[in-house]
A and B are shown apart, each in its own frame.
Chain A
Amino acid sequence: MNARDDFRPLDDTDRRIIQATQAGLPLAPRPYHAVAEQLGVAADEVMRRMQRMLDLGIIRRIGAVPNHYALGYRANGMTVWDVADARIDELGERIGQLDFVTHCYQRPRHLPDWPYNLFAMVHGRTREEVEAKAALIADALGTASRARDILYSTRILKKTGLRIGA
């Protein structure tokens, strides 16, 4: 990839590849060839473009997303922390590396109602398991954490796939 590729926006072919694959990859021996055939593009071209999108971070990764709930992880806790701004990046990177954290973000506070700026999603089979994992996060944050809470989801009100790049 040359430097100019980094700044090239997505073109129509990229967008067609995104639309054809965002619901999933074909379950066929040659999945990229199947996408290529559907779009009327050469298979090498599809693979090259997907590799480029992966390199640029437009594709985070290609793989499987486990359904935590179906796999027995019934407790979904959004742990939230009020962390000193000066240390949040260092601590956020550290929390993201814990293997039970599935998402980790810095988000804005809304004072005085919402003092938390670090969000880490934790799944467990039970709330006790989520709480034990939250305790490990608390240990990792140490004195940098000034306040914390855990918000459990009690009901899925809506869940539709993200549809982007159309």
Chain B
Amino acid sequence: MDDLDRALINTLQGGFPICERPYAEVAARVGSDEATVIAHVDSLLARGLLSRFGPMYHAAQMGGALSLAAMEIPPADFERVTEIVNRQPEVAHNYARDHRLSMWFVLATETAAAQQDAIARIERESGYPVYNMPKIREYFVELKLHV
């Protein structure tokens, strides 16, 4: 990573303008030029240092339902249940965590009813209860990882 990469990671977390030449505006902010900024953002994405670049849409505001759910799965049964959970198209992310509740996944559905259906299906196929933890409130977060 060079200095421009770092400056772009730091500044682009804060926001990207909506205007005709937004990369030129960012270039002015970081003391570079439009073509160089575009090439560097392309390279940061290609190298996986940025996981996304663009608008972040708010699923709930669009009528969709998002939830975080957890399950307590004994180690001996973990792979079988992983396969069941991952097979569901509603499951966007799934993580193993070092806790009694060992599997944590995000459910993304168009409706709340579809979320309940997905949970019921996972419980039925796996034989374990799902702890559903949809957010009650989201607190504003200052996103700024300084690199």
Binding site for B on A (CB under 8 A): 9-10, 18, 21-25, 27-33, 43, 47, 50-51, 53-54, 56-68, 70-71, 73, 78, 88-89, 92-93, 95-99, 101-108, 110, 113-114, 117, 119, 123, 149, 151-165
Number of A-B contacts (CB under 8 A): 234
| Shortest 5 CB-CB contacts between residues of A and residues of B | A64-B12, A96-B139, A25-B54, A92-B139, A158-B94
Known: A58-B57, A113-B131. A165 touches B140 (CB 8 A): no
B30 at the interface (CB under 8 A from A): no
B19 at the interface (CB under 8 A from A): yes
Assembly CA distance A123 to B144 (angstroms): 12
How many chain B residues sit at the interface, stated as a range, is 35 or more
Nearest-CB residue, chain A, relative to B146: A99
B113 at the interface (CB under 8 A from A): no
- Residue contact B58 to A60, C-beta cutoff 8 Å: yes
Binding site for A on B (CB under 8 A): 8-9, 12-16, 18-24, 34-35, 38, 41-42, 44-45, 47-59, 61-64, 66, 68, 70, 72, 82, 85-86, 91-99, 101, 103-105, 108, 131-147
Known: A25-B53, A78-B97. A107 touches B9 (CB 8 A): no
Known: A29-B23, A97-B142, A103-B141. A23 touches B97 (CB 8 A): no
- Residue contact B137 to A89, C-beta cutoff 8 Å: yes
In addition to A108-B132, A158-B92, 17 A-B residue pairs with Cβ atoms within 8 Å of each other are A23-B54, A29-B21, A32-B19, A60-B56, A63-B56, A65-B52, A67-B49, A92-B137, A97-B140, A97-B142, A114-B131, A151-B101, A156-B93, A158-B93, A159-B93, A161-B92, A163-B108
